[in-house]
């Protein structure tokens, strides 16, 4: 889910007022494609996730689904759990976003066998 | 470093394991601080390297198991895998330290200490106050202020009852 600003994030990190502005669907499609690369490597996964978390938004479930599947291809369960923690942290004070994401991702989590941080008890310090 | 960049295009060698050969002199020592480091940060959820680099045989076996179905892993194994890659969970890294209590305590302590110095100064450093602070002198001052009707409308003398020679109730 993205809390909607008055504009969508530009494709490159330049701010031009008259250039083409990317829509939400294009943004999501671009990121789903990025994580869907069959032979994605660890560096690309990390770079992608760190960049995505740097944006002023909480990623859509389908983008996260793609990222979690990338973790599966890389046999990296720890990163999958970390991604869930990161999006919960990203939602900040909006406490209803994370449960929504988990609800949407439930089929994927069940299919891949990913436990949420809450199930493992690492959401408490 | 240009040579290593070129090398990394050909093969997938991590920069940390590649060798810098400088003009025939041999191998430049790779300093620790030049290698990718591990950080727990909110804005970088996946750090450059895993937290635990040298795996024991049990940990290696767990990593092998990770290649299979994740549903087959127990919760403890999943937590163990998490802590191989990461030092602190988000909850742990975000928790406050309580350092502010030490800071406030320190502030109050030093203000108190300064107060002691001020009191000591007043006793041992400063001379006596001028005679104009004596109570008798102050009384005469006050009488003078009333006699010259200072602030007679709303202020000082307005509160003095001249008929009965006392303060107004």
pLDDT 10s digit of each residue in chain A, 125 long? 656 554 444 455 666 678 888 899 999 999 999 999 999 999 999 999 999 999 999 999 999 999 999 999 999 999 999 999 999 999 999 999 999 999 999 999 999 999 999 999 998 87
For each of the domains in chain B, give its residue range(s) and CATH number, in order of start. Answer: 35-94 (1.10.442.10), 130-168 (no CATH)
For each of the domains in chain A, give its residue range(s) and CATH number, in order of start. Answer: 24-120 (1.25.40.40)
pTM over 0.80: no
Q: Is the CB of B44 less than 8 angstroms away from the CB of A117?
A: no
CA-based nearest distance B37→chain A, Å: 14
Using CA atoms, how far apart are residues B52 and A2, in angstroms rounded to an integer? Answer: 35
B65's CB contacts (< 8 A; 6+ apart) are B72, B73, B77
- According to DSSP, residue B25 is labeled S
Torsion angle, CA of B113/B116/B121/B123, rounded to 10 degrees?
A: -170
The residues in B 104-163 lying below 8 A from A, measured between CB atoms, are: none
Alpha helix locations (H) across chain A? 24-35, 42-54, 61-73, 77-91, 97-112, 117-120
Q: For an interface test with A, which of B62, B89, B92 has the most A Cβ atoms less than 10 Å from its Cβ?
A: B89
Statement: residue B19 has pLDDT above 70: no
| Residue B76: Cβ-neighbour burial (10 angstroms; 0-12, 13-18, 19+) | exposed
What is the pLDDT, as a whole number, of residue A44?
96
Per the document, the length of chain A is 125
| Residue B10 pLDDT grade (very low, low, confident, very high; cuts 50, 70, 90) | low
CA-based nearest distance A21→chain B, Å: 25
> How would you classify residue B117: left for phi > 0, otherwise alpha for psi between -120 and 50, otherwise beta?
alpha
> Which pLDDT tens digit goes with each residue over B86-112?
999 999 999 989 999 999 999 999 999
- Identify whether the C-beta of residue A80 lies closer than 8 Å to the C-beta of residue B71: no
Q: For an interface test with A, which of B52, B64, B70 has the most A Cβ atoms less than 10 Å from its Cβ?
A: B70
What are the structure tokens assigned to A14, written together? 């330049």
pLDDT more than 70, % of chain B: 86
Nearest by CB: A122 against B43, B50, B89 = B89
What is the pLDDT, as a whole number, of residue B47?
95
What is the pLDDT, as a whole number, of residue A12?
56
- Identify whether the C-beta of residue A51 lies closer than 8 Å to the C-beta of residue B45: no
The residues in B 80-109 lying below 8 A from A, measured between CB atoms, are: 81-82, 84-86, 89-92, 94-95
- Identify whether the C-beta of residue B75 lies closer than 8 Å to the C-beta of residue A115: yes
**Three-class SS string for B89-153?**
CHHHHHCCCCHHHHHHHHHHHHHHHHHHHHHHHHHHCCCCCCHHHCHHHHHHHHHHHHHCCCCCC
Q: Does B72 touch chain A (CB under 8 A)?
A: yes
A to B CB pairs, distance under 8 Å: 90
Which carries the bigger pLDDT value, residue A15 or residue B7? A15
Q: Does B43 touch chain A (CB under 8 A)?
A: yes
Using CA atoms, how far apart are residues A117 and A75, in angstroms rounded to an integer? Answer: 18
Q: What are phi and psi of B153, to 5 degrees?
A: -85, -55
What is residue A11's three-state secondary structure?
coil
Using CA atoms, how far apart are residues A6 and A25, in angstroms rounded to an integer? Answer: 16
């Amino acid at each position: 889910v993205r809390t909607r600003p008055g504009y969508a994030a530009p494709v490159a990190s330049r701010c031009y007022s008259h250039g083409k502005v990317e829509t939400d669907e294009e943004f999501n499609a671009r990121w789903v494609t990025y994580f869907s690369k069959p032979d994605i490597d660890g560096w690309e996964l990390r770079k992608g996730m760190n960049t995505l978390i740097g944006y002023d938004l909480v990623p859509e479930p389908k983008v996260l689904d793609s990222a979690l599947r990338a973790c599966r291809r890389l046999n990296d369960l720890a990163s999958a759990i970390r991604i869930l923690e990161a999006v919960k942290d990203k939602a900040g004070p909006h406490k209803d976003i994370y449960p929504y994401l988990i609800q949407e991702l439930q089929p994927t989590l069940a299919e891949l066998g990913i436990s949420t941080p809450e199930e493992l008890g690492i959401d408490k310090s | 470093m240009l040579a290593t960049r070129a090398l990394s295009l050909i093969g997938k060698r991590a920069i940390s394991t590649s060798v810098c050969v400088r003009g025939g002199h041999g191998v430049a020592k790779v300093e620790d601080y030049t290698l990718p480091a591990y950080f727990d940060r909110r804005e970088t959820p996946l750090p450059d390297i895993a937290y635990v680099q040298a795996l024991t045989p049990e940990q290696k076996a767990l990593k092998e198991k990770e290649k299979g179905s994740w549903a087959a892993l127990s919760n403890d194994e999943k937590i163990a895998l998490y802590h191989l890659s990461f030092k602190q969970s988000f909850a742990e890294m975000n928790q406050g330290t309580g350092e502010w209590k030490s800071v406030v305590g320190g502030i109050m302590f030093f203000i108190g200490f300064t107060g002691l110095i001020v009191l000591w100064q007043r006793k041992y450093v400063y001379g006596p106050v001028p005679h104009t602070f004596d109570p008798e002198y102050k009384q005469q001052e006050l009488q003078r202020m009333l006699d010259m009707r200072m602030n007679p409308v709303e202020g000082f003398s307005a509160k003095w009852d001249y008929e009965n020679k006392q303060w107004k109730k």
